Amino acid sequence: MEMEEQPKIGIYPGSFDPVTFGHLDIIERSSQIFDKMIVGVLCNNAKKPLFSADERVKMLRSVTSHIPNVEVRAFDGLLVDFA
């Protein structure tokens, strides 16, 4: 019995406060390697971000809207739990 190949999923975590061209470059290149690329926007209550988590998610969704396999989500806590 053959095993079904699992999709390759990548996670790029960060605060993205604000998102930069460098971030976008990494997301674009990673999206070509993985079947699905998840961008995790960290919500760290210990820091005072320039933009709220919702604003950062909206910005990232806007600048990655041309990449069909990218998903942007906010998370808090440990990356291993988010994964």
DSSP H or E run through 40: strand 36-42
Q: What is the pLDDT of residue 48?
A: 87
- Token pair recorded at residue 47: 């820091």
Contact 60, 72 (CB under 8 A): yes
Close Cβ partners of 77 (under 8 Å, ≥ 6 residues apart):
none
Helix (H) or strand (E) segment spanning residue 63: helix 53-63
Q: Which amino acid is at 20?
A: T
Question: Which residues, at least 6 apart from 81, have a Cβ–Cβ distance to it below 8 Å?
Answer: none
Q: Structure pTM?
A: 0.90
Q: Which residues of the chain have pLDDT under 70?
A: 1
Q: What's the confidence (pLDDT) of residue 1? A: 63
